[in-house]
A and B are shown apart, each in its own frame.
Chain A
């Protein structure tokens, strides 16, 4: 009798242990990103993470940029948002306002996560009023892209591009270079008296569009060198400064390249398929674009290079944008999600990402790795990285509330100015007033 009972209890105990272990089953953390080119890198990170954290599985979902934010936002409502998702500075204020992001500051403090390992200025972007919503993942700056063959044909040494100066009045030596690289149907360049601006076959300067409210790859690198910033340098500012004289002058100059001189295409021409398409179709010699587009430009049918931005009145300035991974408030697995976010923000994972060379991770070692991968392929992308590491070389993407409304107002305003249908000096103060009213 006793024996039987003893055996039974052994069996029961074993069963319970098995069940107990089984119930501490694998947790699946869903993670979303938009760039297929980064998918292999993060799958590698996931493998490393799962090895170090048995019991947590990472399920990576990829959605293209067009659908990404629709899915995330709809997911908030329907309860379907992934546990962790890649977040963007332009979108995250709205999510904070909707209270959909987990504040990870308590966990950062509890686990003693070092937020100093990232490039300077990146980590604080993701904080507001003492709460933290993400750990920096990668960053981007802008630089000049050039068509090597066109430079050679014009007798320009690419190194010259790194020494150009700019000012809002006459465009400095930058405008001269642009003029030099603009060719009309008769082969005259923009500096010649016989230049025919109605018949341009090669533009000296391409641009992506009217720039909307941020102008990241459009005019921000110029306007910021005058000392101007969208929100006066404030993060979570409550006032915009589009009516600033310096900004108006910069905008006049920027669109004047097309409207006054013909060195750049019209808005209609660039807004269709975009700057990359025009560049690859060999319609222009120079363009400004972001580091996330490096791979795309390298896919051109001809040799391309990357050069530094022109030096404005206060030096060179590039907009500094960073991505981070955020945890959704509705997740069932906060702790596991945090572990994954911690790993994504760790030097180890960022080194893995850097080794694929697709983006610049937020940690300096990751950046080194990425640079090395490019260098091994014979490509110099230091124009982007040096800008990031330079003292006062960057300024922030404007982070404020009401991003949606502001984007709508500024896109329409800037489009009108770029089309030549409105004067910057009139339209911008009006738009700025409308924007500042939102904050009242």
Chain B
């Protein structure tokens, strides 16, 4: 008797479950969907609803339509906080991403032992809680007793105000965050680098390509999904910077570091829990973030992956 060459026959229910994309799809996403709805969607929708109310969560709410939005749009401080935030993102993201790619490529070049050491060193900043990092740098960058100025002085550079200079403060906040996150993003990019087959590079070598060409033509394009991820998450995170500023400059000097999160939190904790305006500003921020993300993903064609199509 001839044996069936394939797997033994299965019950049709099991077969249905294990081979039906729709069933599997929903089954697989079910736990995350529950989490998403309970802890993300529900609060977010509620927040939008609250943005049309005047409410301090303690007494009865009052429907005020678009009044909250009018109020924040008329507030010069709201626009200023958006400008400062944009400035911060502009300083933070390009530099951080470039550094991350640089680090990841370097990690790839070195031998395993050196690479492991370097990887451990690079991630160290990210291992510290955000607040501690901020406090640490507050000290190092202190104009009068911080070690940074001492070191600069030894090479002849005059005393810098760093975080005390209203024009530079937000830039230094960006620097602190780059210090903390560049290594982390580098690890992510490195994971992506590792999925690029070495055979591609060998083929390029045979064709006589140099390092730079290999980087631009092979590495970067094939890193696309990971880079998209890094960029999108970094941008979103940057827009929400708060802890670092709260601990170092507390919005100063002269309000030079009052980013949008400051404005929102201010509404809650310093304006008698004005949830209406706080959520209205959050909704505006949310809208900005969605727009930025859509643009980013379209521009970088995030859904495609050159690697998967490569045969």
Q: Do chains A and B touch in the complex (CB under 8 A)?
A: yes
A contact set with B: CB distance below 8 Å: 66, 69-70, 73, 76-77, 94, 97-100, 265-273, 277-278, 281, 283, 403-405, 407-408, 411-412, 415-416, 419, 421
Taking CB atoms, residues of chain A closer than 8 Å to B142 are 269, 272-273, 277
Q: Which 3 A-B pairs have the closest CB atoms?
A: A268-B164, A404-B270, A415-B254
CB contact between A267 and one of B164, B268, B273 (< 8 Å): that residue = B164
CA–CA, A15 and B89, complex, Å: 70
B266 with A404: CB separation less than 8 A: yes
Taking the closest CB of chain B, its distance from the CB of A425, in whole angstroms, is 17
Contact A266:B58 (CB < 8 A) given known A273-B139, A277-B142: no
Give residues 124-153 of B contacting A (CB, 8 Å).
138-139, 141-146
A73 with B145: CB separation less than 8 A: no
Taking the closest CB of chain A, its distance from the CB of B129, in whole angstroms, is 13
CA–CA, A73 and B278, complex, Å: 15
A77 with B161: CB separation less than 8 A: no
CB contact between A273 and one of B57, B145, B272 (< 8 Å): that residue = B145
Taking CB atoms, residues of chain A closer than 8 Å to B253 are 267-268, 271, 415, 419
B269 with A100: CB separation less than 8 A: no
When C-beta atoms are compared, the residue in chain A nearest to B164 turns out to be A268
At the interface, yes or no: B166 with Cβ under 8 Å from chain A? yes
Contact A268:B254 (CB < 8 A) given known A77-B57, A99-B58: no
When C-beta atoms are compared, the residue in chain A nearest to B56 turns out to be A98
Taking CB atoms, residues of chain B closer than 8 Å to A411 are 251-252, 255
A77 with B273: CB separation less than 8 A: yes
At the interface, yes or no: B59 with Cβ under 8 Å from chain A? yes
Taking CB atoms, residues of chain A closer than 8 Å to B163 are 268, 271-272
CA–CA, A271 and B142, complex, Å: 9
A283 with B144: CB separation less than 8 A: yes
At the interface, yes or no: B115 with Cβ under 8 Å from chain A? no
1/0 per residue, CB under 8 A from A, across B74-90: the answer is 00010000000000000
Contact A278:B145 (CB < 8 A) given known A77-B58, A100-B58, A404-B270: yes
Taking CB atoms, residues of chain A closer than 8 Å to B164 are 266-269, 271-272
Taking CB atoms, residues of chain B closer than 8 Å to A412 are 252, 254-255
Taking the closest CB of chain B, its distance from the CB of A428, in whole angstroms, is 14
Name, among B138, B162, B254, the residue most crowded by chain A CB atoms within 10 Å (CB to CB).
Answer: B254
CA–CA, A412 and B258, complex, Å: 10
1/0 per residue, CB under 8 A from A, across B255-278: the answer is 100000000001011111100000
A407 with B270: CB separation less than 8 A: yes
B144 with A269: CB separation less than 8 A: yes
Taking CB atoms, residues of chain B closer than 8 Å to A283 are 144-145
CB contact between A272 and one of B59, B146, B254 (< 8 Å): that residue = B146
CA–CA, A277 and B145, complex, Å: 8
Query: How many residues on the B side are at the interface (Cβ–Cβ under 8 A)?
Result: 33
When C-beta atoms are compared, the residue in chain A nearest to B135 turns out to be A273
When C-beta atoms are compared, the residue in chain B nearest to A271 turns out to be B164
CA–CA, A273 and B162, complex, Å: 13
A408 with B269: CB separation less than 8 A: no
CB contact between A419 and one of B57, B166, B268, B271 (< 8 Å): that residue = B166
Contact A404:B166 (CB < 8 A) given known A99-B59, A421-B254: no
Taking CB atoms, residues of chain A closer than 8 Å to B165 are 268
> Given A271-B249, A404-B269, list of 20 further CB < 8 A pairs?
A73-B273, A98-B56, A266-B143, A267-B164, A268-B164, A271-B163, A273-B138, A273-B142, A273-B145, A404-B266, A404-B270, A408-B255, A408-B266, A408-B270, A411-B251, A411-B252, A412-B252, A412-B254, A415-B166, A421-B254
Taking CB atoms, residues of chain B closer than 8 Å to A69 are 269
Taking the closest CB of chain A, its distance from the CB of B84, in whole angstroms, is 13
Taking CB atoms, residues of chain B closer than 8 Å to A407 are 270
1/0 per residue, CB under 8 A from A, across B163-190: the answer is 1111000000000000000000000000
Contact A415:B255 (CB < 8 A) given known A77-B58, A268-B164: yes
CB contact between B270 and one of A98, A100, A268, A405 (< 8 Å): that residue = A405
Taking CB atoms, residues of chain B closer than 8 Å to A405 are 270-271
1/0 per residue, CB under 8 A from A, across B271-309: the answer is 111000000000000000000000000000000000000
B254 with A281: CB separation less than 8 A: no
A419 with B254: CB separation less than 8 A: yes
Taking the closest CB of chain A, its distance from the CB of B156, in whole angstroms, is 15
A281 with B145: CB separation less than 8 A: yes
Taking the closest CB of chain A, its distance from the CB of B138, in whole angstroms, is 6
CB contact between B161 and one of A66, A268, A416 (< 8 Å): that residue = A268
Taking CB atoms, residues of chain B closer than 8 Å to A100 are 58
CA–CA, A403 and B56, complex, Å: 16
When C-beta atoms are compared, the residue in chain B nearest to A404 turns out to be B270
Name, among A66, A273, A421, the residue most crowded by chain B CB atoms within 10 Å (CB to CB).
Answer: A273
When C-beta atoms are compared, the residue in chain A nearest to B251 turns out to be A411
Taking CB atoms, residues of chain B closer than 8 Å to A97 are 272
CA–CA, A419 and B166, complex, Å: 9
CB contact between A415 and one of B141, B162, B252 (< 8 Å): that residue = B252
CA–CA, A419 and B268, complex, Å: 29
Name, among B57, B58, B163, B272, the residue most crowded by chain A CB atoms within 10 Å (CB to CB).
Answer: B272
Taking CB atoms, residues of chain A closer than 8 Å to B144 are 265, 269-270, 272, 278, 281, 283
Contact A76:B145 (CB < 8 A) given known A404-B272, A407-B270: no
Taking CB atoms, residues of chain A closer than 8 Å to B161 are 266, 268-269
CA–CA, A405 and B77, complex, Å: 11
When C-beta atoms are compared, the residue in chain A nearest to B165 turns out to be A268
Taking CB atoms, residues of chain A closer than 8 Å to B59 are 99
Taking CB atoms, residues of chain A closer than 8 Å to B146 are 272-273
A76 with B58: CB separation less than 8 A: yes
Contact A404:B255 (CB < 8 A) given known A272-B142, A277-B145: no
When C-beta atoms are compared, the residue in chain A nearest to B131 turns out to be A66
Taking CB atoms, residues of chain B closer than 8 Å to A66 are 247
Give residues 217-273 of B contacting A (CB, 8 Å).
247, 249, 251-255, 266, 268-273
CA–CA, A421 and B256, complex, Å: 13
Taking the closest CB of chain A, its distance from the CB of B158, in whole angstroms, is 10
Taking the closest CB of chain A, its distance from the CB of B47, in whole angstroms, is 14
CA–CA, A272 and B248, complex, Å: 7
B252 with A404: CB separation less than 8 A: no
Taking CB atoms, residues of chain B closer than 8 Å to A73 are 268-269, 273
B138 with A98: CB separation less than 8 A: no
CA–CA, A419 and B165, complex, Å: 9
Taking CB atoms, residues of chain A closer than 8 Å to B145 are 273, 277-278, 281, 283
A416 with B273: CB separation less than 8 A: no
When C-beta atoms are compared, the residue in chain B nearest to A278 turns out to be B144
Taking the closest CB of chain B, its distance from the CB of A206, in whole angstroms, is 10
B272 with A94: CB separation less than 8 A: yes
1/0 per residue, CB under 8 A from A, across B202-213: the answer is 000000000000
